[in-house]
Amino acid sequence: MNPVIALVGRPNVGKSTLFNRLTRSRDALVADFPGLTRDRKYGNGMLGGKTYTVIDTGGISGDEDGIDAVMAEQSLQAIDEADIVLFMVDGRTGLHMADEAIANHLRVNQKKTWLIVNKTDGLEEHSAMADFWQLGIGEPRSIAASHGRNVTALIDQVLEPFPERDEDLPADTGTKGIRIGVIGRPNVGKSTLVNRLLGEERVVVFDEGGTTRDAIEIPFERRGEPYVLVDTAGVRRRKNVSEVAEKFSIIKTLEAIKECHVAVMVLDARTGLVEQDLHLLDYVLTSGRALVLAVNKWDGLESEAKDRMRTEIKRRLGFADYAELHFISALHGTAVGDLYPSIERAFQSAHSRWSTNRLTNILRDAVEQHQPPMIHGRRIKLRMAHQGGTNPPIIVVHGNQTGSLPEAYKRFLTNTFRKVLKVRGTPMRFEFRSGK
C-alpha cells in the first residue's frame, strides 16, 4: 500500500498548491482524483522514485473557538487515514492562533508529523522560521510550494522509511486469474455479494494464505476458470452481514481499484444513486480501470420503482456508459452469475491489442463516412492511428491541425472505434497528435 500523506493547516497556507505539485509532478502516475467529499481531495503521485497518496484537507477554518470546531471532522478523518501528516503554516503571516490549536491536536495524535513553513520564497529564512519552534512539533522545515523550492528534498526525507515500489499496475503476485475488486459505499451489499460470488455452487475457494500485502487475496475457481477476489475493505472477514463492517475508507477503496483488473461497483436500487456513488465512479474512471456495474437489491421492487431506477441510471451515469450494467439481488443470488461474462469481457477489452493497420483502416473508414471540418480554409487531416497502450487501451491518432478537432467529432471517432473494435467494460483513451 502507498504511504499516505495528509496536508493539514488553516486555509490559505498553500495546501492545494502543494497538493497540485505533489500529484502533478512530471512523473505522477495518476492524475488527481476529484474529491469524494467536497472537503477532501485524494491524489496519487511519485517523486524521487517513490509513490504515495496525498490527501488535501480543504478547510480547517481558524475562526471558531475550541479544538473541535477548528479541527473539522474531515481533517480528523484525513489524519486518521494518513501515515504522515504535513502540518503547513504560512511563513509570511507568521504564527497564528489557529496554528496553535491545530498543533495541540497533532501533538496528542500519534501520527508522524512534520512542520512545514510555506511561502518562504524571498524571506530571510532564519527569522521566518524562528516563531514556529514554539508550536512544539519539532524543527520547522522551509519550503515554497508555488516555486517547488525544497519540496522534492522534503518528500525524499519524509518517505525515507518507506520502501520503493512500483504501484502503477495490479501487483503481480503470481496468483492466476482475473483480479476482481468489489467496491461501493457502505450498506449497498458488497459483503453479501462477495459471499455470494464465493459461495456459489462450483466455486472452489482456496486457502486464504499467501496474502502478501494489505489486500487480502482470495483465489477461487469457477467452472475451471481461475479468479482472484481482492478484498481491501475486510468484506470477507465478516462472518455475516450483521457484523459491523470496517469503517468505510476511501484509501482502501482506492487501493482495491488499484489492485484489481476489473472493479465491480455495487449500487443500491433501494436508495438510488447518491453523490458518493458518483464520486466513487469518478475514481474508477480516472484510474482507467475496467468496470462492471451491479445495481443490487433488485428483489421485491415495484415495477414502477424499477423503471425509475433504470431511467435515473441511464441519465446520470452517461459518463460511465462503457460499463455493462446488471440488476441483481445479492441476497437471493439472482443474476449474480451474469456478472462473470461481463467481467471477462471487460478484462479482455482492457488488454486487447490491435495492429496499426487495423486501427488506421478504421480511422480511414470513419473519415470517409464523416469528414472532419475545415479550419481556416484547410480541412483537418487524420492520417493514421496506432495503439499507445493497454489497460486502458490508448489510441493515438496522427494528422494535422488535430488541436482544432471539435469535441463532437472526437466523440464520433471514439464511438466508432469502440463499436468496430467491440470494446466493452473498459474506458479508452484517445490522443490526437499533429505532425507536418
Our finding on whether 181 is near ligand GDP (CB under 6 A) is: no
Measure the CA–CA gap between 277 and 166, rounded to whole angstroms: 29
Q: Shortest distance, CB of residue 147 to ligand GDP, whole angstroms? A: 6
Q: Cβ(230)–Cβ(264) under 8 Å? A: no
- Contact flag: residue 293 with ligand GDP (CB under 6 A): no
Q: Which element (helix H / strand E) includes 407?
A: helix 407-421
> SS3 helix, strand, coil % of the chain, rounded to 5?
35, 25, 40
* Closest separation in Å from C-beta 96 to ligand GDP: 12
> What is the spatial distance between Cα 33 and Cα 23, in angstroms, rounded to a whole number?
10
318 is in an annotated binding site: no
Contacting range for ligand GDP; rule: CB under 6 A; set: 144-152, 309-317, 349-357, 424-432: 144-152
Q: Cα–Cα–Cα angle for 149, 150, 155, nearest 5°?
A: 130
- Which 372-431 positions form the footprint of ligand GDP (CB under 6 A)? none
Give the whole-angstrom CA distance, residue 414 versus residue 408: 10
Nearest distance, CB of residue 70 and ligand GDP, angstroms? 14
74 near ligand GDP, judged by CB under 6 A: no
Q: Give the one residue of 77, 118, 253, 342 binding ligand GDP; rule: CB under 6 A.
A: 118
**Binding residue count for ligand GDP, defined by CB under 6 A:** 32
- Stated length of the chain: 436
Query: Of the candidates 186, 234, 337, 388, which one interacts with ligand GDP according to CB under 6 A?
Result: 186
Write phi, then psi, for 291 (nearest 5 degrees). -145, 140
CA angle 314, 319, 321 (to 5 degrees): 55
Scanning 35-43, 151-159, 182-190, 335-343 for contacts with ligand GDP by CB under 6 A, the matching segment is 182-190
Q: Following DSSP, what letter does each residue of 284-341 receive, concatenated?
A: HHHHT-EEEEEEE--TT--HHHHHHHHHHHHHHTGGGTTSEEEE-BTTTTBT-TTHHH
Among 41, 236, 261, 297, binds ligand GDP (CB under 6 A): 297
Does 191 appear as a known binding residue? yes
What 3-state DSSP class applies to 344? helix
**Contact between 276 and ligand GDP (CB under 6 A)?**
no
Task: Supply 350's cell numbers.
Answer: 482492457
Rounded Cα gap, residues 246 and 225, in angstroms: 30
Q: Is 187 in the site for ligand GDP (CB under 6 A)?
A: yes
* Binding test (CB under 6 A) with ligand GDP, winner from 2, 74, 287, 296: 296
- Pick one of 51, 53, 75, 329: the residue that binds ligand GDP (CB under 6 A): 329
φ, ψ of residue 99 to 5 degrees: the values are: -60, -40
Is residue 260 within 8 Å of residue 180, measured between CB atoms? yes
6 is an interface residue for ligand GDP by CB under 6 A:
no
Q: Was 314 annotated as part of a binding site?
A: no
Give the nearer residue to ligand GDP in terms of CB position, either 188 or 395: 188
| Near ligand GDP in 224-253, by CB under 6 A | 235, 241, 245
- Whether residue 140 is annotated as binding a ligand: the answer is no
Interatomic CA distance for residues 237 and 400, integer angstroms: 55
Question: Is 184 known to sit in a ligand binding site?
Answer: yes
Q: Which stretch binds ligand GDP (CB under 6 A): 277-285, 291-299, 316-324, 393-401?
A: 291-299
Q: Which positions make up the binding site?
A: 9-16, 56-60, 118-121, 184-191, 231-235, 296-299
Q: Which residues bind ligand GDP (CB under 6 A)?
A: 9, 11-17, 118-119, 121, 144-147, 184, 186-192, 235, 241, 245, 296-297, 299, 329-331
Residue ranges of the annotated binding site for GTP are: 9-16, 56-60, 118-121, 184-191, 231-235, 296-299
